[in-house]
Amino acid sequence: MKRIIVSAVIASLLTPAIASAAPPAERAKNNQAVREDKRELANDRWDRARLDNISAEYKDAIAKNQPKRLDAIEDRFLAELNLEIGESRVEVAEKQQEVNASRREAGKERREVVRDVVKGRPVKAARDAADHADDRRDLADDRADNRREVASLDRKLAIRARFQALRGQKAPAALTEKSGLIDQALQLARAEVQGDKAEVREDRRERREDRRDNVRPD
C-alpha cells in the first residue's frame, strides 16, 4: 500500500501534463461563467459612470451654491446606493453558493484520489490529485471573492447610514463630508469593475485549460 501511495505522489509531481479531459458539464459551466461575468462587468461600468456623474454634479452644485440642486442630487445618490446595496446582497448570496459548491467539488475529488490509491490506480490518482489541487485553488478564490463582497456590502451600508444622518444639511463641513461619501461609493464601484475584469480573465484561463485537457491523451 505504501508503494502505491508513493507511486501516486511521484506521478502527480512528475507528470503534471497528464490531465483528464474536462467533462462537457464543466466546459458549459465555464462558458456560462464568462458570459455572466461579462454582463456583470458591463453593468458595473454603468454603475460607475452614474456615480462618477453624481460626484461631479454634486461638487459643481456645492461650488455654485445651489441648495435645491444639491437635494435632488442627494436623492439620486441614495437611490443609486440603495440599488448598489441590493445588488451586493445578491452577490454575497451567490458567492456563498459558489463557496459551498467548490467545497463539495473539492471533497468529491479528494474522495476520488483516495479510491484510486486504494484500488491501485496511480496514473488516475495523479490526474485526480491534479483536479483536486485545481478545486482547492477554486475554493480559495471563491472564499476570497466572498470576503470582498461582504466587505463591500458592509462599507456601502456604512456610507448610506452616515449620508442619511447628514441628509439635507447645508453647512460647509456637512457638504464636504457628503461629497467624500459619494466619492467613497465611487471608489467601491471602480474596485468592482476591476474585480469583474479579473473574474473574466480567470474564466478565460479556465476555458483555455479545458481546451488543453481535451487534446491530452487519457
Residue at 214 is within a domain: no
State how many domains the chain has: 1
3-state secondary structure 68-98: HHHHHHHHHHHHHHHHHHHHHHHHHHHHHHH
In contact, 5 and 198? CB cutoff 8 Å: no
Instruction: Report if residue 215 sits inside a domain.
Output: no
Q: Which domain does 9 fall in, by range?
A: 2-204
DSSP 183: H
Q: Does 217 fall in a domain?
A: no
Instruction: Determine how many CB atoms are found less than 10 A away from the CB of residue 203.
Output: 20
- 210 within a domain of the structure (yes/no): no
Residue 113 C-beta-side C-alpha neighbours within 13 Å: 22
Question: Is 133 within the bounds of a domain?
Answer: yes
Residue 213 maps to a domain = no
Predicted confidence pLDDT, tens digits, the chain (218 residues): 444 443 444 344 334 444 445 555 555 555 565 666 677 778 888 889 999 999 999 999 999 999 999 999 999 999 999 999 999 898 888 877 776 776 777 676 677 767 767 767 776 666 756 666 666 777 677 777 778 888 999 999 999 999 999 998 999 999 999 999 999 999 999 998 888 777 777 767 766 665 655 555 44
* H-helix or E-strand spanning residue 57: helix 24-63
> Does the residue 172 lie in any domain?
yes
Tell me if 78 is assigned to some domain: yes
Round to whole Å and give the CA distance between 193 and 105.
Answer: 28
